[in-house]
Structure 1
Amino acid sequence: MGFCATLFLLFFGCFLCSGFPLRHYHYVPLPMNWASAQSYCREHYSDLATFMSAADIQTLNADFLYQWAWLGLRDGPEPSDTWRWSSTGETSRTGYQPWRNGQPSDRTVENCVRMYRSGQWYDGPCNEERYFVCYSAEGGHHPRTYHYIELSRTWYAAMEYCRDYYTDLAVIENQEEISEVISSMTTPPSSSGFFIGLYRGPWTWSDMSQSSFRNWKTMSLVNFIGNGSCAVENHLHEWSYLPCEDKYPFICQEVPRQKTVLRMKVETEADLTDPAVNAQILQQLNAALTSQTGINFTLRWKVQP
């Protein structure tokens, strides 16, 4: 026999949809590193700035005292930790990465890896269409068998193809596997290289928003060796990235919080008096709302007498 209950769900969210309060941005002319700027914004406002669209950017009116100001967007904490295999979501177990000199070269739009017949790796845009290499898991002394696929696909489409017909895009952990990949080719590879399963983890916003909006400045990106990279904006609202330990002014956001009570009637075979069940329902609702809106919600049940 199933349980039926009427539940009241409290939404505490920073609502950005039409009809709800928008983000308000504040330029803070105090040079700080990214982490200190984040702490300042969280103490005095809501967080470092997140931008959802070009329209958001235009609402910021500020006299930039420096060339750059921090945003809430940052890359991984260490460059070596941001490259992961599509099949596991983890970094290389062996650390083997035969980059060509000067590679990887672009930490903004070149987030997928292509390989050439020489065995060298380059970073490149994920949305380009290239041939690719899948692998199938065998186990034993030869855990992976490679398959060179002569179909032009974006990196994401290639990954889906490999998962449908094999195991995943190629994982390569040593020079021997480089040789096996090359041996899998029945025809010479494309001169533009082919995709393997290595990708860079996405940039993330300080407030954990899911905004995919980016406004990178072209042809003027800064390359460096340091402990991570964080996004900056100039007076033209163009973005680049710099070492997170550098000190610049920054942009905070202030987002009005709004409470909404939603009445829900739930019918389920699960025991709704079980706290673990309620927690799981909240988790699933929160994930669905966040993925659909890009807005962070805090949810909790309101228990009625």
Structure 2
Amino acid sequence: MDWTVLLISVFFGLGLTSCSHAALVPREYHHVNLPMKWTDAQHYCRLKHTDLATIESMEDASRLNRPSSISSWIWIGLTDDPKSWKGIMGNDANSWRWSATGGTSITGYQNWQPGQPDDYNYDQTYCRTHHTELAMIENDEENSRLTSVIPPYYVWTGLYRVLWRWSDKSSSSFRNWQSGKMDGNNYCAAENSQHQWNDLHCNTELTFWCHGALKVKMTVVRVKIQTNADLSNPATNTQILQQLAAAQKDQGWTDFKLGWKILPRKQEKLTEPQCILNL
């Protein structure tokens, strides 16, 4: 006897596009109790959810339901990648930029003093407040003209940087640093049980917060089974599912589950049962 079935495999971590109104819905946070380095945690969250957690308000922070067994720091999605600003004039979100244009350097010209920039005790409040018409220096000629008219001590130029950025590229400026904890020498952020933040070495292995629902992708495959077995028998159904699941695992497929149900009959055309295997 031939039985035609639809095999529907749902794989977690392989993503559906989010709805257009998702920004209006509070973020869904998930604690992952797997200690990892920050970049590994980022990869995991992007694979299984949306990204490492973005926190835009204290209301968001209050929804981080920390397990009572976890007392250490937990990674969040805030980072200050030194490759985008230390020793180069890059074009990433937190690279150095000119206040006159709000943009990064056009020419890539730089003339840092040895050992700079070190981001030590860096304060950009003045530049960000006054934000226009401070000097731009894009080549040696402009630098020479500037140094010919300034006194022999440090003065402000129009170069500033927006410190730290969220892994999911969010533009949120919300910050909740623990007093005295951000020293500028580490570039990945974690939160404590009071939802205060600290910068830690990115290779530290911590558990982490992801945001976004668990991603799901459904794949439908039509399968024809030739058997004399009674597919309406629950024991037979279970055995078939176990065999199909084992075959998929042998192919390297993980994080899936199978189920099945009877398809509606079309009496005028079908003479045999139609079944759907699904999650």
Give TM-score scaled by structure 2 length: 0.55
Matched with 1:205 is 166
Alignment of 1:174-185 (within 5 A): 180-185=145-150
The verdict on how the C-alpha distance between 1:65 and 1:245 changes in structure 2, with shifts beyond 3 A counting, is same
Output the CA distance in 1 between the equivalents of 2:117 and 2:193: 30
Aligned length: 188
Matched with 2:41 is 37
Matched with 2:182 is 221
Gaps of 5+ in 1: 1-10, 107-122, 129-153, 163-167, 258-305
**Larger gyration radius, structure 1 or structure 2:** 2
Output the CA distance in 2 between the equivalents of 1:237 and 1:99: 37
1:53 aligned to 52, 57, 77, which one? 57
Alignment of 1:112-131 (within 5 A): 123-125=122-124, 127-128=125-126
C-alpha RMSD over aligned residues: 3.6
Task: Write 1 or 2 for the structure with the bigger share of strand.
Answer: 1
Output the CA distance in 2 between the equivalents of 1:253 and 1:171: 41
2:16 corresponds to 1:12: no
Deviations 1:139-194 (A, max 9, x none): xxxxxxxxxxxxxxx445242xx2xxxxx6332766x8666435424xx69x9x64
- Amino acid across the alignment from 2:51: D
- Amino acid across the alignment from 2:20: G
The verdict on how the C-alpha distance between 1:70 and 1:182 changes in structure 2, with shifts beyond 3 A counting, is same
Deviation at 1:207, TM superposition (A): 2.2
Deviation at 1:85, TM superposition (A): 3.8
Output the CA distance in 2 between the equivalents of 1:23 and 1:214: 17
Deviation at 1:206, TM superposition (A): 2.1
Output the CA distance in 1 between the equivalents of 2:139 and 2:71: 44
- Amino acid across the alignment from 1:12: C
- Amino acid across the alignment from 1:71: I
> Quick check: 68-77 or 79-88, which moved more?
79-88
Deviation at 1:198, TM superposition (A): 1.5
Alignment of 1:1-305 (within 5 A): 12-13=19-20, 15-17=22-24, 21-62=25-66, 63=68, 65=70, 67-78=72-83, 79-80=86-87, 81=90, 82-86=95-99, 87=101, 89-90=104-105, 93-98=108-113, 103-106=118-121, 123-125=122-124, 127-128=125-126, 154-159=127-132, 162=133, 169-171=135-137, 180-185=145-150, 194-224=155-185, 229-255=187-213
Output the CA distance in 1 between the equivalents of 2:115 and 2:98: 19
Deviations 1:65-119 (A, max 9, x none): 353211112223513353344455138745421268894215xxxxxxxxxxxxx
3-state SS of 1:12 partner: coil
The verdict on how the C-alpha distance between 1:155 and 1:252 changes in structure 2, with shifts beyond 3 A counting, is closer
Give TM-score scaled by structure 1 length: 0.50
Checking the alignment, whether the CA contact within 8 Å between 2:74 and 2:206 is kept in structure 1 is yes
The verdict on how the C-alpha distance between 1:215 and 1:182 changes in structure 2, with shifts beyond 3 A counting, is same
Checking the alignment, whether the CA contact within 8 Å between 1:231 and 1:240 is kept in structure 2 is yes
Checking the alignment, whether the CA contact within 8 Å between 1:233 and 1:240 is kept in structure 2 is yes
Deviations 1:252-285 (A, max 9, x none): 112599xxxxxxxxxxxxxxxxxxxxxxxxxxxx
Checking the alignment, whether the CA contact within 8 Å between 1:67 and 1:234 is kept in structure 2 is yes
Deviation at 1:37, TM superposition (A): 0.8
Deviation at 1:209, TM superposition (A): 2.3
Gaps of 5+ in 2: 1-17, 216-279
Deviation at 1:64, TM superposition (A): 6.5
